Amino acid sequence: MNILTTPRMERCIGCHSCSLACARLVHKRLSWDTAGIRIRSSGGLSTGFEARLCLACDPAPCVMACPTGAYSQRKGGGVVVRKKLCIRCGACAKACPVDAIYLDATGEPFVCIHCGRCVPYCPHDCLEHTEFSRGAATAGKEPAAAGEVEP
């Protein structure tokens, strides 16, 4: 199964279009927080940007920490979320080693579900939704070139 990766974050301009798209399309919210991918500046704007998102662990520590089964292991890495089962204990966010899970003010967790709906909104092709095998070269795919350089 495909997962969302951020292979070209050096190109990020900090527009937050990815976060806003995730919140809008997946979570039906206007937000740059309640989103599976969130952009931070890495120590001030002059040093660029980094993305906080799920790295598609398998096995996923958040799944192991979830006491109700609201988070279960996703094939190919990451989690499948059943919101109905969530008791908002925050154990998933605590267990995540890369701070990928955002808890809103009510304790509701938000995490990337690797659907890839944010990808078309990135103007600089920082993101990819692709089959990912750890420790292997990218499968012959050129970094996206369309529209990036004007002839």
Q: For residue 104, state whether it binds other proteins (rule: CB under 8 A).
A: yes
CA-wise closest residue to 48 among 85, 6, 108, 2: 6
CA of residue 124 relative to chain centroid, distance: 17
Q: How far is the CB of 142 from other proteins (least distance, A)?
A: 21
**Whole-angstrom distance, CA of residue 142 vs CA of residue 132:** 15
Q: For residue 9, state whether it binds other proteins (rule: CB under 8 A).
A: no
Q: Binding mask 44-63 vs other proteins (x if CB under 8 A, - otherwise)? A: xxx-xx--------------
Among 3, 4, 39, 119, binds other proteins (CB under 8 A): 39
Phi first, then psi, for residue 121 (nearest 5°) are: -90, -10
Comparing CB distances to other proteins, the nearer of 77 and 109 is 109
CA-wise closest residue to 82 among 93, 67, 71, 92: 71
For residue 69, the 8-state DSSP code is S
Q: For residue 89, state whether it binds other proteins (rule: CB under 8 A).
A: no
Where on the chain is the footprint of other proteins (CB under 8 A)?
13-17, 20, 23-25, 28-34, 38-41, 43-46, 48-49, 104-105, 121, 123-124, 150
